[in-house]
Amino acid sequence: MRFAANIFLVVKKDLLLELRGKEALSIMIFLSLLLLVVFNLAVDINRDNVSELVSGILWVIFAFSGILGMGKTSLSERDDDAYLNVVFSSVSMESFFFAKVLSNLLFLMIMELFTIVFFVVLFDYERLFSALPGLSIPLLLGSFGFSVVGTLFSFLSTGSRFGEIILPLLFLPLVVPVLIGGVSSTDIILNGSAGDTPGKWLKILLVFDMLYLSISLILFRYLVEE
């Protein structure tokens, strides 16, 4: 019970911070909109090819906007070593990490919803809306994987001399399974014929999530002990 209460407290703190400062989330959303515009300029997206391109474009945007946003939320923990107050409180390391993962997950999901709305409006692709219930599962599983790795690595990168530039370099290669699983399952849900199910891709996402959550919960302790 205590575990859940502590998690709730930290998530509430992050949300309050976001509501008052409006920093990480708005940067993520603006970046995803900007990336959509850039994609449209780089690749001519039209009625004929939009269904082929949509899943790849969305997941690339989720990964890039996501990792930059998560870098920002950890930076606010590192400012004045704010997270040390949590470390020295009764909140356990594991529940603190899990709470950070959840609040990052929440930010990611909000950013992804905005990106999907932008996509539908900009490219007139309403299929995304009708498929949204089915898409919610890969979105949730994929974002959870992003959030676990991103939370851990963004804490790691705040101690680095190279700053946030090191973050995508560490993050992107590691989340390749999430990208493959996310893109493939989204593609099958949007374009697959009747017999296709995204089952095996969802399984990969689930395996990745479970593996990295359990390992990160163990390793996070070593990251913050100074």
Contact positions vs other proteins (CB under 8 A): 149, 152, 156-157, 159-162, 166, 169-170, 172-174, 176-177, 180-181, 200, 204, 207-208, 211-212, 215-216, 219, 222-223, 225-226
d(CA 113, CA 9): 25
How many CA atoms lie within 13 Å of 215's alpha carbon, on the beta-carbon side?
11
- Residue (26 or 160) nearer to other proteins, CB: 160
* C-beta of residue 32 within 8 angstroms of C-beta of residue 119: no
Minimum separation from the CB atom of position 196 to other proteins (A): 13
Minimum separation from the CB atom of position 205 to other proteins (A): 9
Minimum separation from the CB atom of position 94 to other proteins (A): 15
Minimum separation from the CB atom of position 56 to other proteins (A): 14
- Residue (93 or 223) nearer to other proteins, CB: 223
Secondary structure element (H or E) that encloses residue 142, with its range: helix 132-157
Residue partners of 144: CB distance under 8 A and separation at least 6: 101, 105, 209, 213
Minimum separation from the CB atom of position 126 to other proteins (A): 30
Minimum separation from the CB atom of position 58 to other proteins (A): 18
- Residue (122 or 166) nearer to other proteins, CB: 166
d(CA 145, CA 213): 8
- Residue (123 or 155) nearer to other proteins, CB: 155
User: Which amino acid is it at 32?
Assistant: S
- Residue (125 or 171) nearer to other proteins, CB: 171
- Residue (134 or 177) nearer to other proteins, CB: 177
- 94-97: long-range contacts, CB 8 A cutoff, minimum separation 24: 94/3, 94/217, 94/220, 94/221, 95/3, 95/6, 95/7, 95/10, 96/6, 96/10, 96/220, 97/151, 97/152, 97/216, 97/217, 97/220
